[in-house]
Structure 1
Amino acid sequence: MAGTSGETRDAQRAFVGLLAKPLVTPSVDADLYRLVVRRLKQVKESAQRLGYRVQRVGRVIRLVRVPVAGTVTFPPVPAEVVPRRVRSLACCLAACCEEAAGTVTLQKLSDMVRDLIAAPGVQVAPYDPEERAQRKLLREAARLLEKYGVLTRRTRDESLLDEWTESGQGVGAGYDVDRDALLLLTSPDVLELAFTGEPASPEQWAATRTIRQLRALLETPAVLYADLTDDDANALRVSRGLRNTDVAAMTGGHLEARAEGLLLVLADDERPATVVDWPRARAADWVALLMADKAGRDGTRQPDGTVTLTSGQVDEIVDDLIGWRGDYMNSAQKQAPGTIRHDAQKHLVELGLLRAAGDGSWTLLPVAARYRDPDVTITTPTENL
């Protein structure tokens, strides 16, 4: 039985790892790749339960999040989201990689991107490799393709990349192109799924309820009843025991039930990539933690478990925090107006603890209560936190 239990846990780790890193190659994450290959049958079974599919070409595996009922479930947008221009250049780079044979340099790719964008009918802003700012963006685009395993660096000398970025001299870097990873990343079938979704009928919406529940539980920080339709919220309350069994089988974690909703708690031994490293021992993190706690106390609690604050109330919390712990904040927080509020809001939104409106008001979500009464001990003022 021990062997069976170990195999089950490996399959759960593989599936959760693929959720966090949906395109995996040996060059990107050798450990995860081996784990997914060994437990591919179980991983595919878990994906099917969510209406997803797993594609494999050569030594590349991709999890395809097929839309259901015309929608895709996704977590809060990270604060460090890749800029649109970098994504556009990455798409152009990927297209140029289709024409690259064997190894290719960043300088060569740069020339190819320039020519591609200059071609008639291409609706992308011009790329001028003579401009340092444009070269810098292309370098970031290449890093994005490295992250997905499409490009693999052959040269590790960062000075070559720096020289190319700053002056346009040299080759920049040499890369191998993984054509299998390129094929899965740019699959026209997946792009068609993303852009041709049709609104669901009431019958389709009801029929996909279980899959939508499972996706939300696995893909988002928490599922709040207040965010659901009355029918969906009531169905989830009734079936939460079944959903707990489902997510436990797929991930090894369990659902934590609160009056306001449900959240998935993964096993302690889960891969770091699936767990946010927060709060860390730095000023931006502990300030956000204390602001969330004080916002929960000073704001107006709503029947759905959220806490609302006007923009003025948020500013008052910032002022109180400066008076209480200002000596321990870093130089940017002390000297640049708005830094404290901006940083705290950015972190809390990304973590799924806060929703910020255009008028500056805050809505603190019930899951923030997990961080209530933080014990923050700071012994010596420092500029390096």
Structure 2
Amino acid sequence: MSTTAEIREAQRAFLGLLERPLVTPATDAALHRQIVQRQQAVTDYARRVGYRIQRVGHAVRLIRVPIDGEVTAPPRPADAPSPRLLSLACRIAACCEEISGAVTLQRLSDMVRDLTAAPGVQLSVYDPDDREQRKQLRDAAAFLAGWGVLRRRTSDERLLDEWTESGAGPGAGYEVDRHALLLMTSPDVLALALNPEPGGDDEQGATRTLRHLRALLETPYLAYADLPAAEADALRMARGLRAGDLSQMTGGTLEARAEGLLLVLDDDEEKPATVADWPKARAADWVALLAADQAGRDGTRQPDGTVHLTNAEVDAVIDYLIDDRGDYMNKPQKGVPGAARRDAETLLTELGLLTVAVDGSWTLAAAAGRYRDPTITFTETGERTR
């Protein structure tokens, strides 16, 4: 029988894989050790939501198998890699298939250039003589290093800067981690991602529990209004069961609100978070927190629990906050037109709490009500706390 400590370690490992789906000893030694030590429990947790754990050598990957042709995903963060960067990262990964051992950034650049210029290859051209494209390739290599496919072997940033600016020199030295590369470029995983099988009405019913668990694990909340009426009623009836499932897998608590459900993780510094760590002690977070609260008060509440504000009403909310709560803002937010609003929109959108329409109007999610009546104080050290 597993001890409480062992169960907690397995939960942390599972949450860590949700946050970082490809793990090697080089990318996160502590998380990798937890996953390997509690692999059976982590594998069981993954199976409960229809995921797979795949291991090649020392590399471990969580595979999010699509359901009904879709993969549940959180809101796209503002700093997410661009399609161009992802395309270059895929090309570098393809070139790494031909490499064993060490390779320089210059060599990778030559290989990507040759790959895109090959007859019959329908890819946008990569020009290594263009400084901007060299920067993009540098960032794509760093992206792969973050996932453990490449391991940086040189530490001299001057070489990297020189190559980026002028194309001279080796750039940087890397070593290819073939275990991580095999997991990233696995043909069966690519097939699932590129050709997911759409489901029918029968599969919708059969996969209902999996879809609900995934939404609660991967997204900020699950709103009843986003589900068909019959499915929403079924979730209300089964929320006790879902709470038990999620507690066993994560150690968290399922919070039931009139508008839906959300997973609240325990305040544990050692536990990786699958959701954004918000709010933090910084001005952008305070602006977003205060804007969500004031918008929830001033906007028009809809039957599904969302709150709507016109573009003019949003401006009025921000102007009021600058005048009344400016102590929590930095100089650009108070002095640069539109800065406070941009910060609030960026963070609240990433958190899945806000949708901004083309006309600038806001639709605040029902879950934003969880942050009502925030209290912000200054500690003795000058730090702000919620």
Is 1:250 paired with 2:249?
yes
Q: CA deviation at 1:336?
A: 3.9
Q: Which amino acid aligns with 1:286?
A: W
CA distance in 1: counterparts of 2:273 and 2:103, whole angstroms: 30
Which position in structure 1 is the counterpart of 2:347? 347
Residue 288 of structure 1: CA displacement?
1.4
> 2-side partners of 1:333 and 1:42: how far apart?
47
Query: Which residue identity lines up with residue 301 of structure 1 in the other structure?
Result: R
TM-fit CA distance, 1:177: 0.2
Deviation at 1:88, TM superposition (A): 0.7
- 1:117 maps onto 2:113 in alignment: no
Aligned twin of 2:171: 172
- Distance between the aligned counterparts of 1:328 and 1:237, measured in 2? 39
The amino acid across from 1:121 in the alignment is G
Cα distance between partner residues in 2 of 1:88 and 1:164: 21
SS at match of 1:375: coil
Give 1:318's aligned residue: 318
Is the deviation greater in 348-357 or in 367-376?
367-376
What secondary structure, in the 3-state scheme, does the structure 2 residue paired with 1:246 have? helix
Is the Cα–Cα contact under 8 Å of residues 291 and 317 in structure 1 kept in the other structure?
yes
- 1:358 counterpart residue number: 358
CA contact (8 A) 1:46 1:250 kept: yes
Aligned-residue offset at 1:274: 3.0
On the 8 A contact 1:328/1:378 being kept in 2, the answer is: no
- The whole-number CA distance in structure 2 between the counterparts of 1:336 and 1:115 is 47
1:332/1:120 CA distance change after superposition, 3 Å: farther
Verify: 1:271 aligned to 2:267, yes or no.
no
CA distance in 1, matches of 2:363, 2:374: 20
Residues 1:215 and 2:214 are matched in the alignment: yes
Distance between the aligned counterparts of 1:328 and 1:24, measured in 2?
38
* Cα distance in structure 2, aligned partners of 1:326 and 1:6: 45
Give 1:124 deviation, angstroms.
2.3
**CA offset at residue 9 of structure 1?**
1.3
Aligned to 1:142: 141
Give, in angstroms, the shift of residue 342 of structure 1: 1.7
8 Å CA contact 2:105, 2:170 repeated in 1? yes
* Conservation of the 8 A alpha-carbon contact between 2:299 and 2:309: yes
Give the AA of the match of 1:111. D
- The answer for the alignment partner of 1:307 in structure 2 is 307
Q: Share of identical aligned residues, percent?
A: 64
Take 1:296 and 1:328, find their aligned partners in 2: how far apart are those partners?
19
Give the Cα–Cα distance (whole angstroms) in 1 for the partners of residues 314 and 252 of structure 2.
35
In 2, Cα distance between the equivalents of 1:336 and 1:250?
45
Distance (Å, rounded) in 2 between the aligned partners of 1:260 and 1:289:
20
Measured in 1, the distance between the counterparts of 2:322 and 2:30 equals: 45
Deviation of 1:123 (Å): 2.4
Distance 1:275 1:77, change over 3 A: closer
Q: Distance in 2 between matches of 1:339 and 1:125?
A: 36
Measured in 1, the distance between the counterparts of 2:332 and 2:23 equals 38
Q: What is the alpha-carbon distance in structure 2 between the residues aligned to residue 91 and residue 195 of structure 1? A: 14
What root-mean-square deviation, in Å, do the aligned CA atoms of Structure 1 and Structure 2 show? 1.8
3-state SS, counterpart of residue 3 of structure 2: helix
Segments of 5+ residues of structure 2 without an aligned counterpart are: none
Task: Indicate the SS of the match to 2:344.
Answer: helix
Alpha-carbon offset, residue 376 of structure 1: 2.9
Provide the secondary structure at the position in 2 that maps to 1:274.
Answer: coil
Superposed, which structure 2 residues align to 1:31-70 within 5 Å?
31-70=30-69
Cα pair 1:285 1:344 within 8 Å, conserved: yes
1:9 equivalent in structure 2: 8
Counterpart of 1:160 in structure 2 is 159
CA contact (8 A) 2:15 2:273 kept: no
- Structure 1 138/251 Cα, relative in aligned 2: closer, same or farther at 3 Å? same
Report the equivalent of 1:295. Answer: 295
Contact 2:288 2:345 (C-alpha < 8 Å) held by counterparts? yes
> How far did 1:121 drift?
2.4
**Which deviates further from its counterpart, 330-339 or 345-354?**
330-339
Q: 1:9-58: per-residue Cα shift (whole Å, max 9, x none)?
A: 11111111111111100000011111000111111111111111111000
1:129 maps to 128
Residue number in structure 2 paired with 1:90 = 89
Read off the aligned partner of 1:339 and give its amino acid letter. A
Distance 1:370 1:260 in 2: 11
Tell me how many residue pairs correspond in the alignment: 379
Q: Write out per-residue CA displacement over residues 122-176 of structure 1, whole angstroms, 9 at most, x where no aligned residue.
A: 2222111122111111111011101110000011222221221122222111111
Q: Distance in 2 between matches of 1:329 and 1:35?
A: 40
What is the CA-CA distance between 1:360 and the residue it aligns to?
1.5
Distance 1:23 1:105 in 2: 23
Q: How far 1:309 sits from its partner (Å)?
A: 0.7
TM-score (norm 2): 0.94
C-alpha distance after superposition, 1:245-276 (max 9, x if no partner): 11111111110111111111112225244342
CA distance in 1, matches of 2:368, 2:300: 14
Query: How far apart are the structure 2 equivalents of 1:334 and 1:160?
Result: 41
Give how far 1:351 is off. 0.9
For the Cα contact (< 8 Å) 1:26–1:59, is it kept in 2? yes
Query: Residue 63 of structure 1 aligns to which amino acid in structure 2?
Result: L
Q: Which amino acid aligns with 2:51?
A: Y
Determine if contact 2:218/2:274 at 8 Å carries over to the other structure.
no
Q: TM-score, normalised by structure 1?
A: 0.94
Deviation at 1:363, TM superposition (A): 1.0
Contact 2:16 2:272 in 1 (8 A): no
Give the conservation status (yes or no) of the 8 Å contact 1:152–1:178.
yes
Residue in structure 2 matched with residue 186 of structure 1 by the alignment: 185
Contact residue 96 and residue 176 of structure 2 kept, 8 A = yes
